[in-house]
Structure 1
Amino acid sequence: MMYNMSVITMFTLSGLSGTTSYWVTLFTLTLLCYCAIWLINVTVVVTIIVDKNLHEPMYIFLCNLCINGLYGAAGFYPKFLHDLLSSSHLISVPGCFLQGFVLHSSVGADVSLLALMAYDRYVAICRPLVYHSVMTKQRVCIYVFIAWFLPFCLLFISTITTATSKLCGSQIPKIYCLNVLISNLACSASVAHVIVPAFNYTFYFGHVLFIISSYFCLVKTCQTSKENKEKFMQTCVPHLFSLAVLVFSLLFDMMYIRFGTKDLPQNVQNFIAIEFILIPPLINPLIYGFRLTQLRKRVFHVICCKRSVSR
């Protein structure tokens, strides 16, 4: 039987079907993880905003990366926690598209911000004499605006394209909504369903290639100077680790969506599905907080001040 968007009003998230026996443990761990994400990212964001010594391009980009981590987490965790407490794992059609938009745009903003951070490090290390003339406050604001604006525009077009398709099902085999999963329910594939995602994937794959090429230049430059080597180890290694974590998580999930077997246990499928929502928001502020000496000192200073005030 053929359905369309006027008939289907709710989607069923079938990925939680096997979690009823240990939902208390899963709910507790998920809540702790969500609280940790908020605590760690908010600490870094507040520290950078409050301390004027950290109002530099690298820290501004990091601040936006942490804000984006909170944005992406807010698109998943509240709904997931609600589903763990509910016997029926339903989501409305508008809610499903909203969740898909938030998760997709969060990933896009993540890649864009990481590309900005790579460009910042390239200029700082490879072209230090022109760094302050290139990375002015005005340009940094424009770069940050573009890093947020482009993913929102691209994913808005993708969401609208998916929303106009006729659907022949309402079962989403995951614990959250994504545009690609909704597109799989379409009665027939259209040209837009192929072109729009292909353009988005190519666009952000270009970001990854840009980051890799910039780091080839960085490695060559850092070999000639001990000072540049120290800069690379302190500021670039955390960035590379963040990129590797994000790309690995996304590729793993995308490859599984396209080519994965359904023979894997549902719990394993769910873990694969939430890697890109779980790991980057936790890892990014931690590795930058530990590796960037100035930020680490400021964070410890803020924590110590709070303790002294509470006493």
Structure 2
Amino acid sequence: MAYFNASSIHSSTFYLTGIPAYEAIHHWISNPFCIIYFIGIVGNCTILHVIQTNPSFHEPMYYFLAMLFFADIGMSLPTLISVLQVLWFISREIEFNPCVIQMFFIHSFSFMESGVLLAMAFDRYVAICHPLRYATILTPQRIAKIGIFAILRSALPIIPLMIRLTYFPFCHSHVLSHSYCLHQDIIQLVCADTKFNSIYGLFVLILYWGFDALGILVSYIFILHSVLNIASWEERPKALNTCVSYICAVLILYVPMIGLSIVHHFAKHASPLVHVLMAHIYLLVPPVLNPIIYSVKNKKIRRGIIHLITPKGMYSTLK
């Protein structure tokens, strides 16, 4: 009976939240958010274009980089419209179906980015520990299979959670804690038994990110062991330098993710501003910093970008 009473007051509309206590200056805050989103999306699209159009980038490492930048774009675009919609005071409302779709893309691309980082760790392991077999192990066909597997692995586990949400009644407040939809946020508004979603979601989170983190750690243990066995001291920094950008990419994904998880589970009574800022950092930092890091650290990518944005005659003089 309680279930049917709850169903009768079910609403398909939710209300997004901007930055608490700063609603009066949302239109000013929207400017830096626009700039950050612009930098992230344009930066990732630019490097993707450089990798796609330049045959010299058609190598395993750059294929994996393209997957990483694609995942970054997938994390940014689903949140862009709703975040700016809230900050510009256009509307705080979001219908249930668009909310679920947005949620699906955010979580899927987040898992995909973690999986791609694992594939990149394997790429560095093969390149440093088995350089003579690199071309035979990481063939284009195998890389394509890894990419397809990363997409399916990221999307399929999310589908049961999204389907379950369509059957839940929402009898609590319909105000979400963020400017976009997250599963851990919307599930708190349900007035039914959510044990499956909670346990299954936690299981998938621990399994995927735990497995990926363990795989990355093991790969780099082997890489470090191999580099330390190199006789020449001059060769060691060169070998490790190829991993610096990758280690930065791992840190800027996992550190905000771990911070957000800690806040959600152990700081539920903290200021809403803390939750909002951590969520925005988690979604904005990787897409913005990844293209910057790889543009700075990777000389080949940097030259490709310069070649793209400068006239041909001027570029030849810069070389």
After TM superposition, the score normalised by the length of structure 1 is 0.92
Q: Which residue of 1 aligns with 2:295?
A: 289
What is the aligned residue count? 307
* Alignment of structure 1 residues 272-287 onto 2, 5 Å: 272-287=278-293
Q: Which residue of 2 aligns with 1:224?
A: 229
Aligned partners of 1:7 and 1:261: how far apart in 2?
25
Q: Which residue of 1 aligns with 2:89?
A: 86
* Alignment of structure 1 residues 235-246 onto 2, 5 Å: 235-246=242-253
Deviation at 1:302, TM superposition (A): 1.8
Structure 1 pair 172–136 and aligned structure 2 pair: CA distance change class (3 A): same
**2:260 aligned with 1:260:** no
Indicate the SS of the match to 2:83. Answer: helix
8 Å Cα contact 1:13-1:176 kept in structure 2: yes
Counterpart residue type for residue 188 of structure 2: N
Corresponding residue to 1:97 among 95, 100, 105: 100
**2:181 aligned with 1:177:** yes
Counterpart residue type for residue 94 of structure 2: I
Range that drifts further, 200-209 or 297-306:
297-306
* Residue-by-residue CA offset, 1:96-155 (whole Å, 9 max, x unaligned): 111111111111011011011000000111111211111000001110111112111111
Counterpart residue type for residue 217 of structure 2: I
Q: Between the two proteins, what is the percent identity of the paired residues?
A: 24
Structure 1 pair 101–306 and aligned structure 2 pair: CA distance change class (3 A): farther
Tell me, which stretches of 5 or more residues in structure 1 are unaligned?
none
Q: Which residue of 2 aligns with 1:215?
A: 220
Structure 1 pair 263–194 and aligned structure 2 pair: CA distance change class (3 A): closer
Deviation at 1:195, TM superposition (A): 3.6
Structure 1 pair 133–228 and aligned structure 2 pair: CA distance change class (3 A): farther
8 Å Cα contact 2:40-2:291 kept in structure 1: no
Structure 1 pair 132–241 and aligned structure 2 pair: CA distance change class (3 A): same
Deviation at 1:262, TM superposition (A): 3.4
* Residue-by-residue CA offset, 1:138-196 (whole Å, 9 max, x unaligned): 00111011111211111122211333333222222222211111212222334422342
**2:187 aligned with 1:187:** no
8 Å Cα contact 1:161-1:192 kept in structure 2: no
Indicate the SS of the match to 1:91. Answer: strand
Indicate the SS of the match to 2:190. Answer: coil
After TM superposition, the score normalised by the length of structure 2 is 0.89
Deviation at 1:52, TM superposition (A): 0.4
Q: Which residue of 2 aligns with 1:300?
A: 306
8 Å Cα contact 1:162-1:179 kept in structure 2: no
8 Å Cα contact 2:10-2:169 kept in structure 1: no
Indicate the SS of the match to 1:8. Answer: coil
Indicate the SS of the match to 1:34. Answer: helix
Deviation at 1:6, TM superposition (A): 7.8
Indicate the SS of the match to 2:229. Answer: coil
**2:100 aligned with 1:136:** no
Tell me, which stretches of 5 or more residues in structure 2 are unaligned?
none
Aligned partners of 2:304 and 2:247: how far apart in 1?
23
Indicate the SS of the match to 2:191. Answer: coil
Range that drifts further, 112-121 or 220-229:
220-229
8 Å Cα contact 1:221-1:228 kept in structure 2: no
Q: Which residue of 2 aligns with 1:251?
A: 258
8 Å Cα contact 1:16-1:89 kept in structure 2: no
8 Å Cα contact 2:71-2:112 kept in structure 1: yes
Corresponding residue to 1:168 among 146, 171, 180: 171
Aligned partners of 1:101 and 1:237: how far apart in 2?
31
8 Å Cα contact 2:79-2:102 kept in structure 1: yes
Corresponding residue to 1:3 among 2, 6, 18: 6
Structure 1 pair 128–163 and aligned structure 2 pair: CA distance change class (3 A): same
Range that drifts further, 181-190 or 29-38:
181-190
Q: Which residue of 1 aligns with 2:113?
A: 110
Aligned partners of 1:77 and 1:199: how far apart in 2?
29
Deviation at 1:39, TM superposition (A): 1.8
